[in-house]
Amino acid sequence: MINSSSRLIFFVFVLLSASCSKTDTVIPGTVKEETPSSTADVYAAIRAVFGNEIDPANLANYANQGKPSYIIKDNTGSNPITNPKATIGRVLFYDKNLSINNSIACASCHKLAFAFSDTALVSNGVLGGVTDRHSIRLINARYGDESKFFWDERSVSLEKQTTQPIANHVEMGYSGLSGRDNITALLAKLQKIGYYNELFKFAYGDVSVTEARMQECLAQFVRSIQSFDSKYDAGRALASNSNQDFSNFTAIENEGKRLFMTPPVFDANSSRIGGGLGCNNCHRAPEFDIDPNSKNNGIISLARGAGQDLSITRAPSLRDLVNTNGIVNGPMMHSGGVRDIATAISHYGGFINDNANLDQRLKPNGKNVQRLNLQQSEIASVVAFIKTLSGKNVYTDKRWSSPFSLN
């Protein structure tokens, strides 16, 4: 007969034996728990290419960054930012595989160091191609009423805009022209890349790479690029509105803000006789986005060659027009013909080219283009104010930098 003490020893032995064989046993109908190493292997290609730049288990925060309470414009529409899809957008934005000969990425023309613009007059494309217009800055693309994109607003949305450079013959080359492949070939190309398989599986549940998904992800990444740490934002947070003097501004900066915000007073010949410069009529504070009803701004030259361009209506936010050293982030306007802020202001003062597509706000009496009769002190004050719109974080935040750190 087995006594109670023997029964206890036997029971403990059975438990230990079961424990030793547990790792090899899977209960029917359940999934075997993977070890940390086997879980990591699901993202082996991501780890091999991006190292610590992208961790699917701990993605960077794109979706819930926060913004000042006074920022109310938003063109997100039906494509809200998510961390997985914005992460794919970051990879796509910096990946030269998106060009026909693996030489050009979106970031080749929209460079982080220059507020996602380019210091070149026009940007280089594939196989000797060059862009027709100057590269537009991408800062705060989300925070505006304008839903159309490109300088001439030919794209009805940011989503549609994102793949047009890819399909452009001189930019990224997947045009389907002159014997080149079209974007369908690019999709097949990306489908064969391991890290896209893993990224799309993580974000969408399957590995399928489609143009619609690329547009969705690239647009989310671009909309995530935001800048609200400027001197202007510090002052606006302490003020009840944009019109009152900011306590952290110098007298010149406050005077520049007043001139920017206040409409001008014109005589019958469209000559300014009082008031401010009226910049806010088109570049509206506090987002400093472009009014979607704006038309041609009186610059009709081309970036390259002879001829005229009367179709330009789009403009980026005026935020981060200059870098942290106060130097402009590249040429201004679609033509790239303006190299400093003072010249840009002077253009609106008395160098506007009249044309059939001119914004009528620049022709106040309907007959003559405006003459602002600018004083040098006024120009200097507005320049000082515009420089307060630039932040610092956008240049250093890793969320918007290249993830290809190992290459």
> Could you tell me the pLDDT band of residue 15, with boundaries at 50, 70 and 90?
very low
- How far is it, in rounded angstroms, from Cα 246 to Cα 240? 10
Q: Going by C-beta distance under 8 Å and a sequence separation of 6 or more, which residues neighbour residue 27?
A: none
Comparing 45-226 with 231-387, is the CATH topology the same? yes
Structure tokens at 106: 């979106």
Q: Are 200 and 132 in contact (CB under 8 A)?
A: no
Predicted confidence at residue 407, as pLDDT, reads 56
Q: What pLDDT does 24 receive? A: 36
Q: Which amino acid is at 365?
A: N
CA distance 49 to 37: 18
CB 234 within 8 A of CB 105: no
Read off the pLDDT of each residue in 2-10 and give the average, rounded to a whole number.
44
Quick one: DSSP state of residue 301?
A: B
Q: Where are the domains of the chain?
A: 45-226, 231-387
| Cβ atoms of 330 and 166 closer than 8 Å | no
Report whether pLDDT(2) > 50: no
Nearest to 159 by CA among 102, 81, 95: 81
Q: Under CATH, which architecture does the 45-226 domain have?
A: Orthogonal Bundle (1.10)
pLDDT band at 40 (very low <50, low <70, confident <90, very high): low
What pLDDT, on the 0 to 100 scale, is given for residue 99?
A: 98
* Alpha carbon separation from 210 to 88, 142, 185 (Å, rounded): 13, 23, 11
Strands of 38-77, DSSP E = none
Candidates 155, 165, 62; CA nearest to 118 is: 165
Q: What pTM was estimated for this model as a whole?
A: 0.89
- Residue 171 DSSP code: T
Does the pLDDT of residue 10 top 60, yes or no? no
Quote the tokens at residue 178.
């002159």
The HSE-up count of residue 125 (CA atoms within 13 Å, CB side) is: 20
Tokens of 123: 């940007």
CA-CA distance, 6 to 55, in Å (whole number)?
Answer: 53
Each residue's pLDDT tens digit, 111-135: 999 999 999 999 999 999 999 999 9
Query: Distance (Å, rounded) from C-alpha 302 to C-alpha 312?
Result: 11
**361 — pLDDT class (breaks 50, 70, 90):** very high
Mean pLDDT value across residues 50-55: 95
Pair 245, 254: CB distance under 8 Å: yes
Q: What phi, psi does 46 have (nearest 5°)?
A: -60, -45
Say if residue 359 is exposed, middle or buried (CB neighbours under 10 Å; 0-12, 13-18, 19+). middle
Selection from 192, 164, 190, 202 nearest residue 87 by Cα = 202
DSSP secondary structure letters along 336-402: --B-SHHHHHHHHHH-PPP-TTB-GGGSTTSSS--B----HHHHHHHHHHHHTT--SGGGT-GGGS-
Question: What percentage of the chain reaches a pLDDT higher than 70?
Answer: 90
Find the helix packing angle between 194-204 and 83-94, rounded to 10°. 160
Q: Is the dihedral of CA 221, 224, 229, 232 positive or negative?
A: positive
Confidence label for 11 from pLDDT (cuts 50, 70 and 90): very low
Average pLDDT, the chain: 91
pLDDT tens, position by position, 231-266: 999 999 999 999 999 999 999 999 999 999 999 999
pLDDT at 305: 87
CATH number, span 231-387: 1.10.760
